[in-house]
Structure 1
């Protein structure tokens, strides 16, 4: 039997993006690394899933319907045990990155994101915790 090194084995990850194709591809890649995943496609659903599942990590799109990624991030960071958060966005504005960092984001990636880069970022953050 061949053992594959799964970088996120047993870790819980909430993936939030309003683009279904991006959401599906991120979920498949993260699951392939052994993570237990849940998904949300808008900001309100993200908060509900986070409260329900208490994931260790959140991959969070910045531009979401119903509640922006920034508002979701703010709520996550105010919790007693905030998750590790990787914000993903197609917006390359430096101002947004600075604001996300001020709110406490752990990593900020610009789309399109190679899936391996996302996996490596999550694994790196998890190893630092």
Structure 2
């Protein structure tokens, strides 16, 4: 029996980015769920407990940071999360890393970069925990 598909929750208010990520990740045989804002993302994350969350930092209703803070406080702790952002600030990155995100990817990014990061986290394909840019 093939292993159960890993479930990835995409949380972003940008339709184009969501669709690109969904296409490329589904082609790698991941199951995809989509939330268009932070509140919906939080609800889905808590209900479905995905294997990985790809989270946009700047969104309506609840920023990615608020979503992270809430998820960090849940009984099972933080779900592995990749944060994507159009923001250049290194303060944001430092804060995201403090909250425990596994990777931090600046937009615009090549979809291969996202896939590599996802595979590294979900399949444990990298022996070290450092991420290279």
Please confirm whether the aligned pair reaches a TM-score higher than 0.5, indicating the same fold.
yes
Q: Secondary structure at 2:29's aligned position in 1? A: coil
Aligned partner of 1:97 in structure 2 is 93
TM-fit CA distance, 1:107:
0.5
| C-alpha distance in 1 between matches for 2:51 and 2:72 | 12
Task: Name structure 1 gaps, 5 residues minimum.
Answer: 1-8
| C-alpha distance in 2 between matches for 1:63 and 1:108 | 13
| C-alpha distance in 2 between matches for 1:102 and 1:117 | 22
| C-alpha distance in 1 between matches for 2:121 and 2:46 | 21
Q: Which among 115, 124, 127 is matched to residue 123 of structure 2?
A: 127
Q: Secondary structure at 1:88's aligned position in 2? A: strand
1:38 equivalenced with 2:33 (yes/no): yes
Aligned partner of 2:80 in structure 1 is 84
TM-fit CA distance, 1:98:
0.2
Task: Name structure 2 gaps, 5 residues minimum.
Answer: 126-133
Count residues with an aligned counterpart: 121
Q: Secondary structure at 2:24's aligned position in 1? A: helix
List structure 1 runs of 4+ shifted beyond 3 angstroms: none
TM-fit CA distance, 1:78:
2.0
1:65 equivalenced with 2:57 (yes/no): no
CA RMSD in angstroms comes to: 1.4
Q: Which moved more, 1:64-73 or 1:47-56?
A: 47-56
Q: Secondary structure at 2:5's aligned position in 1? A: coil
Calculate the TM-score normalised by the size of structure 2.
0.86
TM-fit CA distance, 1:104:
0.9
